[in-house]
Amino acid sequence: MTLFEVWAPRPERVRVEVDGSAYPMTWSADGWWRAEVVSESGARYGYLLDDDPTVLPDPRSPRQPDGVHARSALHTLDQTVWTDHGWTGRQLAGAVYYELHVGTFTPAGTFDAAIERLDHLVDLGVTVVELMPVNAFDGTHNWGYDGVLWFAVAEPYGGPDGLQRLVDACHARGLAVALDVVYNHLGPSGNYLPRFAPYLSDGRNTWGRTLNLDGPGSDAVRRFIIDNALRWLRDFHIDALRLDAVHALVDRTATHLLAELAAETERLAAHLRRPLTLIAESDLNDPTLITPRAAGGYGLTGQWNDDLHHAVHTAVSSERQGYYADFGTLGCLAHTLTHGFFHAGTYSSFRGRTHGRPLDTRVIPASALLAYTCNHDQIGNRAIGDRPSIDLTDGQLAIKAALILLSPYTPMLFMGEEWGASTPFQFFTSHTDPVIGAATATGRKAEFAEHGWDSDDVPDPQDAQTFLRSKLDWSELEDTRHARLLGCYRELLALRRARAELTDPWLTHISVDFDEDARWILVHRGEILLVCNLSAEPVTVPVAGVVLLSWDPPIEAVSGLAVPGHSFAVVSAGGVAATGRAR
């Protein structure tokens, strides 16, 4: 017998259909309907609401073998597949993250194909594989943020069994697994949840209606979200969750959903006897997210730091449009390297208001902030999905890598950046509803037209070629140029592992010198000094010591170290004279 149960306070009658036969369900006062039916693993089932003949998938469906509009399937993970019984996990501090999209990481675009590339990540020095969302979405390919059945795993990637194999293979190689999850909205196609219950509020964010986190019926919606998060961590042995755009979660209750989730995750970690990590994406620059609950915060483990990305990217590339307008100086970069946020109670010209709040660097370690030269947003949300490697020299790419990988923050790479991949990462969808597909394409072009782009240059997200262009070209590793950059990444990460100064998470232990006019910056990490020349011409930096690593070899000069244009050097210190300094 299988117990079928569904929270559906809206309809007056609910039946469960199992393999073509409908069975009545019993209602309880809490809005749940239940029925026991003889069934086997793999049985197709769904729910009939009132007199509507349409069979709807289970809101908590464990598997959708025929797509998000079709019936669900009973599924239980095979526990004999797991070989990671000795896995003890990885904490955030000291980790190196690697973000990838399963569908474009390999030509086949599956979990099993990704397993074949895990040794590359181990050799690189990665410790955590971060997967963009893999919950069930409409169509065959998608970034993943249009998910509508959060408990199911996308079938084109290999479904739940494929994800299980990938996680187990990662653990066998010493790699932890992080998963991107989206709780701030549901996708536009295949979202049947409002037919069952008040999952959505009347409010809206950038992507659609917001989740009902504080209105009538919200207790069960919050439970739905928390149960989903715990399912990934418990059932799939996932080690960390990246919580998408938490600033779009509207919760006016006394205990914010994130604080509640953090408490339950901590409880599960104690039971599993391995660390479980929660990382927020937020554009608020609000330390409350990563402040311990005992100190009045939400108690999340970490959050993405876009300010550092902007500071590094603009300083190296000189790109200053849009939200980059306030960034670009070496003073900005130095401040962000030593204080976490650039906008921390300061005026943001892009927003037209004061933004952010200072990070208490005595309480919150820098390892709680994830740093990156690029990520899926910073590439894919450009009009044509172009990577920094298209416009920057290899030396500039190496400088960006050195600034991030040798910073006190937790570094994160985006797939392919380690070899300067030339393939774009464009925004792609495959909505089966032609109306939604057309609206997505039109909206994308209109959005960038407002920013001055020719709409003809913006790829159609519904065009299959947009997806195929975004797949990594692994043959590039055979090219001398790409191989050199990959070697640089490997050496930087090896140095980070070897020297304790480079994983020291306290911002009170870092200082930065810079010369705005000469365009050099010098980062002090204990006895390790990182010297970067952001100009195209050689500069002499007043520093002495033994060169441990460089992009182009510097030359010792009477007044310091002569660093070639667009290059960096890592020095074991012997002395330094300051020009401009940030602490």
At residue 131, does pLDDT exceed 70?
yes
At residue 110, does pLDDT exceed 90?
yes
Q: Is the dihedral of CA 224, 227, 229, 231 positive or negative?
A: negative
Neighbours of 349 (CB within 10 A): 10
Task: Give exposure, 429-464, as e/b (b: 16+ Cβ within 10 Å).
Answer: bbbeeeebbeebbeebbeebeeeeeeeeebbbbbee
At residue 416, does pLDDT exceed 80?
yes
Query: What span, in angstroms and rounded, lies between the C-alpha atoms of 306 and 402?
Result: 17
Share of the chain above pLDDT 70, in %: 98
Q: Which distant-in-sequence residues (6+ apart) come within 8 Å of 469 by Cβ?
A: 423, 424, 426, 459
Q: Could you tell me if residue 4 is left (phi over 0), alpha (psi between -120 and 50 degrees) or otherwise beta?
A: beta
Residue intervals of the chain classified under CATH 2.60.40.10 are 2-56
Predicted pLDDT at 577: 44
At residue 302, does pLDDT exceed 60?
yes
| 95-314+365-498 is a CATH 3.30.365.10 domain | no
Is 129 in contact with 57 (CB distance < 8 Å)? Answer: no
Instruction: List the beta strands (DSSP E) in 430-476.
Output: none
Predicted pLDDT at 144: 96
- Is beta strand 302-304 parallel, antiparallel or unpaired with respect to 369-371? parallel
Q: What angle do CA 501, 502, 504 make, to 5 degrees?
A: 65
Residue recorded with tokens 């902030």:
369
Mean pLDDT across 55-74: 98
Catalytic residue among 239, 244, 504, 513: 244
The mean predicted confidence, pLDDT, of the chain is 95
In 3D, which of 288, 287, 291, 285 has the Cα closest to residue 311? 285
Read off the pLDDT of residues 471-500 as tens digits, 9 standing for 90 and up: 999 999 999 999 999 999 999 999 999 999
Q: Give the rounded distance of the alpha carbon of 321 from its chain centre.
A: 24
Query: What span, in angstroms and rounded, lies between the C-alpha atoms of 2 and 534?
Result: 64
Catalytic residue among 281, 306, 377, 513: 281
Q: Which distant-in-sequence residues (6+ apart) come within 8 Å of 437 by Cβ?
A: 429, 430, 431, 462
At residue 583, does pLDDT exceed 70?
no
Q: How many CA atoms lie within 13 A of 477 on its CB side?
A: 12
Report which DSSP code applies to 288: G
Neighbours of 33 (CB within 10 A): 23
Q: Which distant-in-sequence residues (6+ apart) come within 8 Å of 432 by Cβ?
A: 67, 69, 138, 139, 189
- For 511-582, which CATH class? mainly beta
Query: What span, in angstroms and rounded, lies between the C-alpha atoms of 143 and 408?
Result: 30
Predicted pLDDT at 451: 66
Q: Which distant-in-sequence residues (6+ apart) come within 8 Å of 108 by Cβ?
A: none
Residue 564 confidence class, pLDDT cut points 50, 70, 90: very high
In 3D, which of 398, 500, 401 has the Cα closest to residue 94? 500
Residue 579 confidence class, pLDDT cut points 50, 70, 90: very low
Is 419 in contact with 476 (CB distance < 8 Å)? Answer: yes
Residue intervals of the chain classified under CATH 3.20.20.80 are 95-314+365-498
Is residue 310 helix, strand or coil? helix
**H/E stretch holding 6:** strand 2-7
Mean pLDDT across 140-144: 97
DSSP letter for each residue of 139-194: SS---STT-SEEEEE-GGGTHHHHHHHHHHHHHHTT-EEEEEE--S---SSS--HH
Query: What span, in angstroms and rounded, lies between the C-alpha atoms of 331 and 467?
Result: 39
In 3D, which of 549, 258, 210 has the Cα closest to residue 402? 549
244 part of the active site: yes
Neighbours of 246 (CB within 10 A): 24
At residue 576, does pLDDT exceed 70?
no
- pTM of the predicted structure, to 2 decimals: 0.96
In 3D, which of 524, 526, 552, 525 has the Cα closest to residue 539? 552
- For 2-56, which CATH class? mainly beta
Report which DSSP code applies to 340: S
Residue 333 confidence class, pLDDT cut points 50, 70, 90: very high
At residue 514, does pLDDT exceed 80?
yes
Is 186 in contact with 147 (CB distance < 8 Å)? Answer: yes
**H/E stretch holding 333:** helix 330-339
Q: Which distant-in-sequence residues (6+ apart) come within 8 Å of 335 by Cβ?
A: 311, 342, 582
Query: What span, in angstroms and rounded, lies between the C-alpha atoms of 388 and 187?
Result: 29
DSSP letter for each residue of 229-283: HHHHHHTS---EEEETTGGG----SSS-HHHHHHHHHHHHHHHHTS--EEEE--S
Query: What span, in angstroms and rounded, lies between the C-alpha atoms of 477 and 423?
Result: 13
307 part of the active site: no
Q: Which distant-in-sequence residues (6+ apart) come within 8 Å of 351 by Cβ?
A: none
Is residue 456 helix, strand or coil? helix
In 3D, which of 329, 267, 277 has the Cα closest to residue 304? 277
Mean pLDDT across 366-394: 95
Read off the pLDDT of residues 531-554 as tens digits, 9 standing for 90 and up: 999 999 999 999 999 999 999 999
- Residue 541: phi and psi, rounded to 5, are -105, 130
Residue 454 confidence class, pLDDT cut points 50, 70, 90: confident
Predicted pLDDT at 578: 44
Residue intervals of the chain classified under CATH 2.60.40.1180 are 511-582
Predicted pLDDT at 574: 60
